[in-house]
A and B are shown apart, each in its own frame.
Chain A
């Protein structure tokens, strides 16, 4: 009876399906039209709201399909018909997968191919995106539809759920400061562990809730269960202990011994902090001290990233006077000889005033990740077109003002998050200053392709200063024979390090 029910639903929602399919294809068409350098700001502006509209439209279609045979209602004719519940559930899931998901898959694949990828990578990225879509859009919409009688109820419940989730986040921010909240929004590298947990909860919740509704028809219990799933979903994303996430990450290290030679020392001989450096005074209200740290034994071609630093300050009587978090930093030795970094320390003003002249013991516990160079690529600085599996498709051109080279890349699936770039004159070997960007994301490959079928990023390389203050080794005349050099880094090991400074006077390291 699955196919029989499926056909009945198709008769009822085919018009809505066509409308939703058109909406789902629209962002892909706009992205193709924008190309790599996206010079139509109107279309660019359209994309952001369109993303939400696509989610909403897909959810509405899923809800409409499920509610063709509403479960909580006591007036629906199908409830008194000998319709096998398992067949009904399967027919609805089939509809959601074949029509809602398949359209998303087709739109994503179209986008990949139209961008220039071959069918294989385009389809693989689209499939990964589809899995993500099932968990975050289709299944939640399916659950919502199964506990509500009609679209109005579903929308009201959806808004209530959104408000509930927002309330939890506000509570999280109020209770734990920004730290808890930013875990997802700023994409701390380990955030994928929490996301996996929340996705697993959705899957388990959907299994339990749909079983309860379709086979036992318990709307009240199912609604409570849906509330619990929502609560746990948000809680898993926001409140999963950092240590758990990092422990999972450590287990997944590719080379667990890579950090063996790494050593961190407090080295007063380096001298006081002088801007510019890796870290700069933030100018905030809190007094800031910058402690000179020597980084030794860092393997060649690696980057060190601090995912989290915990700080304990102990006074001369052995009392713990501060227990909190230090600043995160990353250490990218752009120059061969560079071995130092400054650890920024920002304490509440009253605490700083109380402690600044006293000898203190500082204990830093770092959760770190070591990145190793994965691959190097070069692409012509002007009108370059590079295609490679690791980076996808990258193109270059000069900007409209004639002062910068623009590099734009698109990758089927998510990109490597840490990269460095510089302009190099291939004839003379001269280089412009290196640009290093890193948004830690340690998720496994499949998960990386989740948020969008195509990832894109771009870097601009200035080569001429209109004010004529800065001078670049690689300037306009050299560009035709220059390349953009790209280095991609992949996380190699996750580990912890402890740095103990037995005695320090904070005032000596304060930066005004």
Chain B
């Protein structure tokens, strides 16, 4: 495992930012950690990078306890964060020149390619760059040494669509064999990038699974009945966002199995005429799951 987190908790006085969170990232995967603002994603990542200390639990990165992370491990980890502070008064070129000697695997050609791709102005000071440019700069500083693990903390936050696409294109192009851990509160921004997804709500991990499995098990169900009928209560717990409009009932099924659907629906809804199941965009899946979590129905 490139990342192994066990029972991680972090308390700020009375506020619990993380609650017994466990999560793992296998080598070669790209895990997208999704959660609302304040869910605990950044706290988890900052603990992983040894920027803050956990209250309890363990976090291992590249097989090393994150509290004992050394330059040897850091030379194999790329990190980009929306709130990363780069040395403001250095120019883009000066900072790349500064970083180069710290990384034995630094590839100057890759550096040049990345700078060109992101159209970074080498002679401009970092504090003169826009937010988007600065994030691209941070990514340009994280790629040339071909890190084994790339950790991205809300990298698309605050980016306009054009810059976001440029950023994601650059990332997709260079990610290659890297293992990636990326946090975001807006899944649509990174759709198509991850192989796995984890969902954090109020410091707790609600699930972690592959994208394929998630889109397969969470589907939108539309049931048409012969006339308007009252639903039999309670509805199964795996049905969320249940709505009825006339003789049409819709809900999101978060444990969808095609072969069981017909029987399940007929047990809860009388006079069923037609049942339709359709896959949902990732964004809609997370909005539904987030709402359900907030309503404590998960």
Contact = CB atoms under 8 A, between A and B. Distances in A.
Nearest to A15: B89
B46 to A, nearest CB: 6
B231 to A, nearest CB: 49
A76 B90 contact: no
A1 B101 CA distance: 8
A11 B103 contact: no
B75 interface: yes
B72 interface: yes
Given A1-B102, A83-B102, A75 B85 contact: yes
A482 to B, nearest CB: 64
A82 B72 contact: yes
Interface in A62-84: 68, 73-77, 79-84
Contact of B51 (A1, A74, A81, A83): A74
Interface centre among B81, B86, B89, B102 (most CB of A within 10 A): B102
B138 interface: yes
Interface residues of B, number: 28
B102 A73 contact: no
A244 interface: no
B89 to A, nearest CB: 5
A494 to B, nearest CB: 52
B1 interface: no
A84 B71 contact: yes
Given A11-B90, A12-B87, A12-B90, A75 B103 contact: no
Given A8-B90, A12-B87, A79 B51 contact: yes
Contacts of B99: 81
Contact of A82 (B51, B89, B102, B141): B102
A82 B69 CA distance: 10
Contacts of B74: 80-82
Contacts, number: 52
Contacts of B81: 75
A4 interface: yes
Interface in A202-228: 217
B199 interface: no
Contact of B103 (A4, A79, A82): A82
Nearest to B103: A82
Contact of A68 (B51, B87, B103): B87
Contact of B85 (A1, A11, A76, A83): A76
A83 B102 CA distance: 7
B79 A80 contact: yes
Contacts of A76: 85
A73 B71 CA distance: 18
A217 B53 CA distance: 10
Given A11-B89, A80-B77, A83-B71, 13 more contacts: A8-B90, A8-B98, A12-B87, A12-B89, A12-B90, A73-B85, A75-B85, A79-B50, A80-B74, A81-B99, A81-B102, A82-B72, A82-B74
5 contacts: A8-B87, A12-B87, A75-B84, A79-B49, A80-B79
In the A-B complex, the 7 residue pairs with the smallest Cβ-Cβ separation, listed nearest first, are: A82-B71, A82-B74, A82-B75, A80-B79, A74-B51, A75-B85, A77-B86
